[in-house]
Amino acid sequence: MNFIDRLRQAWAAQQTLLCVGLDPDPARLPAQLASSAYPIFEFGRAIVDATADLVCAFKPQIAYYAAARAEDQLEMTIAHIRRHHPAIPVILDAKRGDIGSTAEMYAREAFVRYQADAVTVNPYLGFDSLQPFLDYADKGVIVLCRTSNPGAGDLQDMASGGRKLYEVVAEKAARDWNANANVLLVVGATYPEELREIRSIVGDMPILVPGVGAQGGDVAAVLANGATADGTGLVISSSRAVLYAGSGSDYAQAARSAALKLRDEINLCRKT
């Protein structure tokens, strides 16, 4: 089954659009994990097990693992999800982008080494930099479109012939890059108007929406502007607001409570 079908199954089976992002900052790990041989993995596993029935996907952010020299713990985390929560797809947040021959290596990193179900990619280098990822037809390729950060507009809002750069990316994603029906987009929750425009361009293509929680995106606006007619089409990701909801011995329970609240808030805004 391909990634988008897996995502649709998870939306339906679990009745949730929530994705929990795994951004394990070593400076913020619970003190009780300090003596563990694999504290980043133990943290991720606890978060995963505490929230797996509330999410449609998990999204580990590779930068946190790489900075900590902990690629092995990323492998362990993804393997844990695949073994114990096989219905929940894994999105590797890596935002890779390079020339074709190098992109082949990055695709191998994401899909073969880490066994991720989808990966985020950067479109700046154009189609041939995406092709090696797209060739994995069963995997999801999630292209940055309008990102959630304050400087997103520096380049992405550049306008040409009445169309902004992020709109060009959305059009190319929907029309030129989607031969294997495995493309998705990233649109930040912090820019709901742009989300509405992009939804109008890409039909029912699923959109990964980071930026609720710590970054301040509004859930109601995301649903109103980004959901498809059936009340799905979105993977709404929260990382820090869930991961660091608590810092004591009950951190996993605190993360579950935060995820539960956010899942319910999202579902209240769905128009199904």
Q: Which chain residues interact with a second copy by CB under 8 A?
A: 23, 25, 61, 63-64, 66-67, 69, 71, 95-103, 105-106, 108-109, 112-113, 122-129, 144, 147-156, 158-160, 165, 168-169, 172, 215, 240
Q: Which amino acid, residue 55?
A: V
Q: Smallest distance from the beta carbon of 244 to a second copy, in angstroms?
A: 12
Query: Which of 15, 149 has the CB closer to a second copy?
Result: 149
Q: Smallest distance from the beta carbon of 212 to a second copy, in angstroms?
A: 14
Q: Smallest distance from the beta carbon of 183 to a second copy, in angstroms?
A: 14
Using alpha carbons, select from 65, 116, 77, 124 the residue that is nearest to residue 98: 124
Burial 50-60 (b: 16+ CB within 10 A, else e): bbbebbbbbbb
Return the residue matching tokens 């935002």.
95
* Residues with Cβ within 8 Å of residue 105, at least 6 apart in sequence: none
How far is 205 from 170, CA to CA, in rounded Å?
Answer: 10
Query: Which of 71, 138 has the CB closer to a second copy?
Result: 71
Backbone angles phi, psi at 232, to 5 degrees: -125, -140
Query: Which of 176, 250 has the CB closer to a second copy?
Result: 176
Residue 60 has which token pair? 């580990």
How far is 44 from 32, CA to CA, in rounded Å?
Answer: 14
Query: Which of 9, 122 has the CB closer to a second copy?
Result: 122
Q: Smallest distance from the beta carbon of 59 to a second copy, in angstroms?
A: 12
Let me know: does 73 contact 44? Beta carbons within 8 Å.
yes
The residues assigned a catalytic role are 95
CA neighbours within 13 Å on the CB side: how many for 262?
Answer: 33
